Amino acid sequence: MTYSQTYELSISKASELIRNKKLSPVDLLEDHIKRVEAKDQHLNSFITRTFDEAMNQARICEQEITAGNWKGPLHGIPLAVKDLFYTKDIVTTIGSQKYKSFIPTFNATVVDKLEHAGAVMMGKLNMHELAFGTTGKNSVFGDCHNPWNTMKITGGSSSGSAAAVSGGLCMGSLGTDTGGSIRIPAGLCGIVGLKPTFGRVSRKGVFPLSNSLDTVGPMARTVKDAQIMLSAIAGVDAKDKHNSPRENDDLQMNSEVDLKTVKIAIPTDYFFDVISDDVNNSIDNAITVFQELGASVDQVNLPVLNHSLAISSTILMAEASNIHKQNLKGNPHQIGPDVRIRLQQGAMILATDYLEAQRARQKFNLEVRSILDEYDVILSPTVAVTAPDILEETISVKKESQSVGALMPRLTRPQNITGLPTISIPCGFDDEHMPIGFQLTAPGFQESKLIQIGSAYEAEAGWLHHKPKI
C-alpha cells in the first residue's frame, strides 16, 4: 500500500488491515508524519508535534499485534488532540500566550483512554485561543487554514482538529464543544463531528470554558470512525463530578436501522431563516435522501429556539469570565483582544441575569425534548454558510450583512443548552466546492441512534470519494 493511499483510509478500514497484519502501524504513522511535514505548512493544524514518542508507541503496537495481542479498532491508529487536553510532560498551551509554557503532570482521562486503546498520539492541535471563538483564528500560533481552500477559515474552536483530519494529517482527533466548537469546524471542513450527551465523556484534565456547557467528542472522516472513538473515550469517571454514571456498552452496537421506522423533525423557522442558498439546497437534498430511504420527515414549530442565543451567550460568557477571573485580574494582555473583550464583557453580567438565563434554559430544554418525545431526531443545518475567507469579518446572507464570529455558532448553540447528543455529517458543497454539513440531534444518551441514522445516510450519499484540494 502506497503512502498516497494510507492517509485516505478510514479508521475502520485501517484497523481491519492492521488486525490482519496487512498494514504496519509503523508504516502508517510514517506516512502520516510525511503528510504533516508536506502539508501542515499550508494548514497550520499542529501546535506541538510528538513524532518521536509516537514512533515509539507505533513500534510497541506492532510488537503487540504481531504477538497476537490486538487491543481493538484504535490499536496502532495515529490520532491527535486539541491543545487543551492535558498531556503529561507535554506542553499544553490552550492556544494562548498565557499558557505557552504550561506542562501538565498528568493526562486527561480521555487521553489515557485513547492510549489504553492502543492509539498512537501524534501531537497537539491548533485552536481558537482558550476555546473561546468560532473562527479558528489565533494571534499567538497563527490562523488555521481549511484544507478545501487554504484562503478560508476552518471554523472553531477545534480548528486544528478539523483541519488535520480533513487534510489527512491524522486519522481522527478529539475536540471540545461548548457552543458548536466540534460541529462548526467539522461542517466547514467536510468531516464528521460528534458532540455527545453532556456528561457522557469525562472532562477531567480538559481545560474548561463553561462548566455547564462543555463537552468532549470525536472528529473523524466517517460516522463509523466517530463511533469507534466515542466508544473508547466514553464511560464512567469518578474524577469528573459532571460525568454520568452511565456505562458505554450501548456504543458498541453495530446493527443497522430500518429508516422506514425513523421519524425526523425539521424546525424550519429558526434554522432556515438565516442561511445561504447553497446550504439550504444541500439540506433539502439530504432530506430527500432520508425520504427516499423511507424515513418520515415533518416540519415542526419550535419558537423557543429564537431565545437560544441569548440564553447561551449569557451562560457561556458568565461562566467563562468566572473561570478566567484571575487571568483578567493578573495580566489580561497575555490574552488576545477578541477573547479578552468577551471575557471582560462576561464579567459584567449580573448574577440575576445568569440565574434568569438558567431558568429560561430549563423551559427551553422541556420544549425541545417534547419534540423528541414524538420524533427520533431533529435535523438542521450545521452552519448557516460555507467557510468565509480568513480576512472576512462580515458576510452577506440573504442580502444582509452578518458578523462571521456571531453567525458561525447560531445553529449549534441550541444543542449545548439542552446537553443533547448531536452529530454533524457532510452533505454537499457550494459553488466553490466548499463543504456543507447537517446536524442530527437525538434524546439524551442515544448516540447509538445518531450513529445508526447517520451511517445509513452516509452509505447512501457516498461522501468519501470527495477529497480536499490540499
- CATH at residue 27: 3.90.1300.10
Asked, for residue 318, whether it belongs to a domain, the answer is yes
**CA nearest 217: which of 205, 238, 231?**
231
Asked, for residue 5, whether it belongs to a domain, the answer is no
Contacts of 233 (CB under 8 A, 6+ apart): 110, 113, 114, 174, 201, 202, 216, 218
Specify the pLDDT at position 253: 58
Cβ–Cβ under 8 Å, residues 139 and 129: yes
Phi, psi (rounded to 5 degrees) for 410: -55, -40
Spans in the chain with pLDDT lower than 50: 1-3
Give the helix/strand (H/E) hosting 428.
strand 422-429
Kindly name the residue from 158, 181, 308, 448 that is annotated as catalytic.
181
Specify the pLDDT at position 469: 82
Specify the pLDDT at position 255: 72
**C-alpha angle with apex 376: 453 to 296, nearest 5 degrees?**
80
Contacts of 58 (CB under 8 A, 6+ apart): 25, 26, 28, 29, 76, 78, 120
Please give the residue range of the domain that contains residue 142. Answer: 11-465
Specify the pLDDT at position 370: 97
CA 457 to chain centre: 19
Asked, for residue 416, whether it belongs to a domain, the answer is yes
pLDDT digits (tens, 9 = 90+) for 107-129: 999 999 999 999 999 999 999 99
CA 241 to chain centre: 22
CA distances to 195, 312, 377, 413, 444 from 372, in Å: 17, 21, 7, 17, 10
Report d(CA 41, CA 395) in Å as an integer.
27
Give the helix/strand (H/E) hosting 120.
strand 120-125
Specify the pLDDT at position 246: 80
Kindly name the residue from 15, 24, 39, 82 that is annotated as catalytic.
82
Bridge-based pairing state of the strands 78-82 and 120-125 = parallel
Contacts of 420 (CB under 8 A, 6+ apart): 197, 368, 369, 372, 441, 442, 443, 444
Specify the pLDDT at position 2: 47
Q: Copy the grid coordinates of residue 89.
A: 510532560
Asked, for residue 433, whether it belongs to a domain, the answer is yes
Report d(CA 139, CA 98) in Å as an integer.
12
Reply yes or no on whether 380 is catalytic: no
Asked, for residue 4, whether it belongs to a domain, the answer is no
Q: 244: cis peptide before it, omega within 30°?
A: no
CA distances to 102, 189, 384 from 123, in Å: 15, 20, 31
Asked, for residue 45, whether it belongs to a domain, the answer is yes
Specify the pLDDT at position 402: 94
Specify the pLDDT at position 254: 65
Strand partners, 316: none
Q: Which residues of 391-425 are buried (b: 16+ CB within 10 A; e: fewer)?
A: eeeebebeeeebebbebbbbbbbbbbbbbbbbbbb
Asked, for residue 2, whether it belongs to a domain, the answer is no
Specify whether the backbone of 433 is left (phi greater than 0), alpha (psi in -120 to 50) or beta.
left
Contacts of 375 (CB under 8 A, 6+ apart): 263, 264, 265, 298, 300
pLDDT digits (tens, 9 = 90+) for 394-415: 999 988 999 999 999 999 999 9
DSSP state of 387: P
Kindly name the residue from 10, 157, 158, 173 that is annotated as catalytic.
157
Specify the pLDDT at position 464: 78
Cβ–Cβ under 8 Å, residues 285 and 428: yes
Asked, for residue 470, whether it belongs to a domain, the answer is no
Q: How many domains does the chain have?
A: 1
**Cα distance between the two ends of the chain:** 21
